[in-house]
Homo-oligomer: A and B are copies of this chain.
Amino acid sequence: MLLSQLFTKTRKEALKDEVAKNAQLLIRAGFIHKEMAGVYAYLPLGLRVLSKIENIIREELNSVGGQEMLMTALQKKELWEKTNRWDDKVVDDWFKTTLKNGTELRLAFTHEEPLTNIMTNFVSSYKDLPIYAYQFQTKFRNELRAKSGIMRGREFLMKDLYDFSRSKEEHEKFYEKMKEVYMTIFKRLGIGDQTYLTMSSGGSFSKYSFEFQTITDAGEDTILYDEKTGVAVNKDDDSEDIFADFGIDRSSLDLKEARSVEVGDIYSLGEKYSKALGLTYKNEDGKEQYVYMGSYGLGLGRLMGTIVEALSDEKGIVWPGSVAPFTYHLLCLSKESRIKNQADKIYDQLRGKNIEVLYDDRDVSVGVKFADADLIGIPKQMIVSEKTLEKGTEAIEIKNRKDGTTTQGNVGDIEL
């Protein structure tokens, strides 16, 4: 894409009312627009990143048998009363609305109830299970404060997967598999090194539970982690006991402390929802059983914000190649027509190969081009200049956004 055609522009100053680094950088670079606190629109560059994150997650979930669907934001009372979650005292962040006829509705903050209800239409026998269903869907949470940019939104895109299993054992097997799937996702998103499967205190159905925590100063949590073994614990739950219960000798670890953000959660739900909503199946002996469930969430904005927080530097964003809005940021360092023509040709050549390239074709100074490229954060800057043209019409220089190192290359050798 030609940068001159992209409708967004970079800006030098952050918004005055924006305190989160991730949102400051993303707004300055033209990836997002702040509609109100905790509510952000994704502009073309931002949506490209969001879609790439979505596709990585989709590929990994499909690889373990996930079936994608799309549920609704509008929710009616009946289902949520059955699990006692309609009550404001139980759930304090509902957004409420009403139909013209006065019927009270709410905007979904999660989807256990509607999905469990949907499954009652399709599950009757042990042969129908297990089922792994997921969606990418907009969630609404009426947060009292929203100061973390796109890392904690009032309206945000979330992947939520639910497993419907025949037994605790079948559920736990999938739960263990999802631990690996999540780590694969975080690795592919470029935050694998900073992300720890972290022991924490239990949910409703287990003594302990697990969260995925990514080390970043912007996080709201604190973890203790051992780089060598990858073992980590939420500081709030640190004790000899929790380590011992997992068969780990705490004193053998070299634990460091760091601020971190919870980038993913995986929960055992047990039979809570299947009991409340009547989701049963007949087992091989014809006996009626409750379905055993789990839920697995990933906030896409939170992931994108975490990547920005964890990998940016003083010049701007540094995207991992897997989620960068484009593979290359093409910069022509001269206004001379023979060099500009050469850059145009290279741009056409790359497009012909279906390589994603953002070409800064603007009539601005080299300094402005580099400053914008560094702010936008595409990991590979492809440079065409008098110097490269001297080496041949196919010569280019690739500058690594992260560390500024350069390599010489040939545009003909660039592969998709």
Contact = CB atoms under 8 A, between A and B. Distances in A.
A73 interface: yes
Given A7-B119, A118-B33, A44 B72 contact: no
A229 interface: no
Interface in A20-54: 30, 33, 35-36, 39-44, 46-47, 50
B35 A47 contact: no
A368 interface: no
A339 B130 CA distance: 28
B69 A128 contact: no
Contacts of A133: 7, 44
Number of copies: 2
A35 B69 contact: no
A56 to B, nearest CB: 17
A334 interface: no
A118 B73 contact: no
Q: How large, as a class, is the contact surface on chain A?
A: 35 or more
A213 interface: no
A13 B236 CA distance: 54
A416 interface: no
Interface string A242-273: 00000000000000000000000000000000
A154 interface: yes
Given A114-B41, A138-B138, A155-B74, A65 B5 contact: yes
B99 A97 contact: no
A19 interface: no
Contacts of A121: 9, 11, 33
A144 interface: yes
Nearest to A1: B67
A101 B192 CA distance: 38
A70 interface: yes
Interface string A77-103: 000000000000000000111111100
A96 B74 CA distance: 12
A298 interface: no
Contacts of A36: 74, 76
A8 interface: yes
B122 A74 contact: no
A74 B35 contact: yes
Interface string A104-127: 010100000010001101110000
Contacts of A98: 96
A100 B38 CA distance: 13
B73 A44 contact: no
A401 B204 CA distance: 50
A68 interface: yes
A160 B344 CA distance: 32
A44 B58 CA distance: 13
Given A7-B122, A97-B96, A107-B97, A44 B68 contact: yes
26 contacts: A5-B65, A6-B67, A7-B67, A7-B119, A7-B128, A33-B118, A35-B74, A35-B75, A36-B74, A39-B72, A39-B74, A41-B69, A41-B70, A41-B114, A42-B69, A43-B69, A46-B69, A47-B68, A73-B138, A73-B155, A95-B105, A96-B97, A99-B142, A100-B143, A100-B144, A101-B144
The 6 closest A-B pairs by CB, nearest first: A42-B70, A41-B71, A7-B131, A44-B67, A95-B97, A97-B97
